Amino acid sequence: MNTALKYFSLILLTLAMSPALAGDIEKGKKKAELCIGCHGENGISVSPIIPNLAAQKEGYLVSALREFKSGTRKNGMMSPIAATMSGDDINDIAAYFSSLK
């Protein structure tokens, strides 16, 4: 019973967060111009050491950018870039890259 309650709570939490992740794809495309230099025009990176962002889960991208912004995740290139992003910027950029094939 305890395990079932944990799963149910996780499902409710996921559903509650879903609307918060809904970014604007078109706005994200414009905002992602800075990202294209490394992550590629279509979200396929220009280097094997840079991650592809095309078709990544939107929630994962939001989480990663928030972690870079807060400093809990560190990267010499991404941390300063994410630090300048608003919550809407993060949601929009994540929506854009997750929409790519």
* Distance (Å, whole) CA 93 – CA 23: 7
How many domains is the chain partitioned into structurally?
Answer: 1
- CATH number, domain containing residue 52: 1.10.760.10
d(CA 66, CA 93) in angstroms, rounded, equals: 12
Buried b (16+ CB within 10 A) or exposed e, 71-84: eeeeeeebeeebee
pLDDT mean over 26-34: 96
Residue 50 forms part of a structural domain: yes
Any domain includes 2: no
pLDDT at 21: 60
Residue 7 falls inside a structural domain: no
Average pLDDT, the chain: 89
- Encode pLDDT of 53-97 as tens digits: 999 999 999 999 999 999 999 999 999 999 999 999 999 999 999
In a domain, 5, yes or no: no
Q: Residue 29: inside a domain, yes or no?
A: yes
Range of the domain at 54: 22-99
